[in-house]
Amino acid sequence: MESPDTGHHLEQPVRATAACKQCRARKVKCDRSQPCCRGCTRLQLQCSFDRHSTSPEVTEVDSRDLTQAGTKRKRSRQACQACRICKSRCSGQYPCQRCVARGLTCTDGVAGMAINSSPQQHQRLLEDPDKALEVESLTSVYPIYSSWAQDTISTPSTIHSMVPPLDKATIKGYLETYLNTAGRRTAVFLHKPTLFSEWSKGRLDSNLLKTLTALGWQASVKRAEETAIARVWLKQVQDDVLKLIGRTSITQLQTLVLLIQFHVQAGDYADAWNMLPLAARMAFTMRLNHERQDADVVEQETRRRLAWAIYQLDRSFSGGIDDLAVFLPEIVHVKLPCDEQSFQRGVASRAVFLTDDGPQDGTSMEMHAFLLKLLATRHRILRYTKRVRRDGVSPSVSFLEMEALQAELDRFEQNLPAELKLDSERLALMVHSVESVKYISIHMHWMQCHCDLYRFCVPGIRESVSKDALEQTAPDFITYCQQACLNMAIRLCEFWAEIRSLEPSERVSDWFMAVSVYQVAQIIRHLRHLLPREGDHCLACLREKLNDGLKLAESLQDVFPGSKKCLVEAAKVIRSLGEDSTIHSSRASSVSDDVGKEHLASRFAAIPRVLGDATARESEVNDRLVSEQPLRIVSSEAGFDAAEAIMDLAGMEQAVTHPIDDMVPWDPFDVQMNDYYNPDLGDLLVSMTSQEEYSIRF
C-alpha cells in the first residue's frame, strides 16, 4: 500500500509561473506573457520578465506622485476647482499642469486657495498660520519664491529683469548645462568661446542670453511646474523677437532658431510651423545661403551652421513637398559644417559642398554633415514618389528616375569614410562614443530611404499608388519593389536589435527613430506573405527585433512628447504581428479623390487644411471673441511675478467651437508616418496578397 506521503507527493499540482514583480506590487492579475506582460506594456513599466531589462536610474521623485506599489500615480487625490468644473483630469499639484498650460488660475478644490499670488500676498500668507502648509508647498514647487524673502544679488546688466535674481556663477552654470547636454545637437551654430567671451564683457544680446538661460534652467529641473518657468521666459523672449522682427542680425536669427527648436521639442508645432518661414527669409536677407569670403573664419562657419540648422528643420517640415519647403537644397551654396575641433579653434574649414559626390574625408567635416547630405536625397525621393502617386500612372514608367535615386543612395554609402561605414566591429565602438546618436542616425536614415523609395508598390498602405496604377504595372516590377522594400526593413530590424544588445551609453535622441519603427512595422505586416516560415527572418524573430527597436525609441518620449502617439501606434502594430484576426482596411490611396485640391499627405500630415466658407466665418467670430478679452502684459519691471506669468503663459481660455479637423494639424511625426494606420476605420491594415483582396473596406 502506498504511503500517505508518497500519494500526497504524486497529487501535488504543478506550480504556475509566478507573476511579474510589478503586477505583484500593484496586486493585480498578471497574464505572464513573455517577454513583457500586457499590464506592464500598457502602463509602460519595466517588466521583470524582460531579460533585457536594466535597473532604472534612481531619481528623486515626490512620494505624493507614486502609488503604494511605487508606480507613477495616474489619478490625483483631489482635483482643483477648474478641472472639477470641466470634469478634466487634474495632475493634483497646485498649480496643476492643465491650469499652467491653459493659463488658468488654479484653485484648491478644498481650501479655495488660488496659486497666483504676488510677492506681497506671499508675505501676508507667511504671517497667516492657517496658510503655512500651503505656502510651504508653494515654495517647494517654485524655489525662486524663497529668494523674495532674502537679500538678492544683482543680475548682470545683460540679463532682463524678468529672470529671477541670479549671480553670475549660477547663470554660467545654466549656460554650460544647456551647451553640454541638449545644446550639443541643437545649438551647433553657437561658438562657445565667443559666446562666453561676449557674455563676460556684458555684450551678449539680452534675448539670446535669456533664451540660453531658460533652456539651461529647463535642462536642470525635473518637475513640470519648474519647466513651466522656462516657458514663461521663452514666451517673453519670443514676444520681444517678433516685435523687433525688422531687426535683422545673426544674434536675432540665432535666438529665433533656438525658439523654433524648443517649440518642436516641446510639441508646440503650430508656433514652429509659422516661425520657420520668418527664419528662412531672414537668412536669405543676410545671404547666409552663400559664402562670405571677407568674414573671419569663425563668423563664416557660424553663418554656415545657422543656415544648415534652418535647412534641417525645413526637411522635417516639408516632407518632400516643394510647395511647403522654405529652404530647398538647390539654393544652399555654402560648405557643409566642418569638424567641431576646427570650429572651436577657429581653423579654416576644409569641408565640401552639398553637391560634391566624391569620396569624403571624415576628419574635415562634422559627422552631422553626412546626414545633411542624406536629407537632401530623401527630399528628392519623397518628391518623386508623391509625384508618381499624383500622376496616377504606373510606377514602372519612371523606372529610370527610380534607378537614379537608388544610384544616389549607393554613391552615398560608397563615399562614406571608412570610420563611418556600418559593420559589427565599428558599431560596437560607435554606440559607446559621444557621437553614437549621429552615427546611428546616418545609417538609419540611409536604410529608411530605401523603404521610402519602393513602398509605393506595397498595397494597403497610404503611400501606395492607386489600384488602377498597380493594375497597369508589370508583376515583376511590383515584386522587385516589394522585395527591395522588405529587405531593407529587415536590415533595420537587425540594426536596432544589435544596438540594443550592445547597451549603448547614450539614449537615441533622434525623433526620426519613432517614425522609422512605425513604418518598418507596417511594411513587415503588409509584406509578411513574403517572409520565410522559419529562420532569422521569420515573422516571430522579426517581431522580437522590432520590440528591441521600440525599447530603444521609448526614451524619446522624455525629449519629444510628440513621439508618444507614434510609439503607441507602433506598439499596436507590433503586437498584432502573427495574430489571426479580422482586420479592417482603409483604401490604399486617395489620389483620385483629392488630386488638384490639396497636397498628397497622410491623414496625420503636417499640412494646414483649407477652411470652408462656413467654418471660416465661424472662426472669424471666435477670433473676435478672443481678441475682445482683456490683454494681460507680462511686466518686465522689478517685482515681476513669475507665478502670475505662468498663469498667463497660454493666454485666456480659447473660445473655439469649430471642429478640430479644420485647424492646422501640424506634427512632424504625423507628416512622416504617412498614415499606414487609420484608427477611424478599424484596428490595423491587412496584408493584401491578391487582386481579389485588393478591395476598399469602410
pLDDT at position 619 is 45
Q: Which residues contact 498 (CB under 8 A, 6 or more apart)?
A: 424, 427
Tens-digit pLDDT profile for residues 619-637: 444 444 433 433 332 333 3
**pLDDT level of residue 49 (50, 70, 90 thresholds):** confident
Average pLDDT over residues 239-263: 93
The answer to whether 322 touches 383, Cβ cutoff 8 Å, is yes
pLDDT at position 266 is 86
Question: Residue 467 is placed in which grid cell?
Answer: 489600384
More reliable by pLDDT, 13 or 351: 351
Q: Where are the domains of the chain?
A: 16-65
Residue 383 pLDDT exceeds 90: yes
Average pLDDT over residues 48-71: 58
Average pLDDT over residues 543-556: 93
| Cα–Cα distance measured from residue 517 to residue 173, given in angstroms and rounded to the nearest whole number | 37
Contacts by 637-640, CB closer than 8 A, 24 or more apart: 637/161, 638/161, 639/118, 639/119, 640/161, 640/162
Mean residue pLDDT of the chain comes to: 75
More reliable by pLDDT, 558 or 667: 558
Range scoring the smallest mean pLDDT among 53-67, 206-220, 357-371: 53-67
Average pLDDT over residues 531-552: 94
Question: Residue 156 is placed in which grid cell?
Answer: 548682470
Backbone torsions φ then ψ of 77, nearest 5 degrees = -75, -30
Average pLDDT over residues 334-363: 89
DSSP 463-502: TSPPHHHHHTS-HHHHHHHHHHHHHHHHHHHHHHHHHHHT
pLDDT at position 168 is 84
User: Which residue carries 465661424 as its cell?
Assistant: 618
pLDDT at position 63 is 59
| Cα–Cα distance measured from residue 250 to residue 51, given in angstroms and rounded to the nearest whole number | 51
The model's pTM is 0.68
pLDDT at position 676 is 38
Residue 12 pLDDT exceeds 90: no
Tens-digit pLDDT profile for residues 109-141: 544 434 343 444 444 433 443 333 333 333 333
Question: Residue 510 is placed in which grid cell?
Answer: 533622434
pLDDT at position 247 is 86
Minimal CA–CA distance to 94: which of 74, 73, 117?
A: 117
Average pLDDT over residues 646-675: 40
Minimal CA–CA distance to 242: which of 203, 190, 286, 278?
A: 278
Tens-digit pLDDT profile for residues 426-482: 999 999 998 999 999 999 999 999 999 999 999 988 888 998 999 999 999 999 999
| Cα–Cα distance measured from residue 569 to residue 384, given in angstroms and rounded to the nearest whole number | 27
Q: In the Cβ-directed half-sphere of 666, how many Cα atoms lie within 13 Å? A: 19
pLDDT at position 220 is 82
pLDDT at position 370 is 95
Any idea which fold 16-65 has?
CD2-Gal4 (4.10.240)
More reliable by pLDDT, 263 or 68: 263
**pLDDT level of residue 361 (50, 70, 90 thresholds):** confident
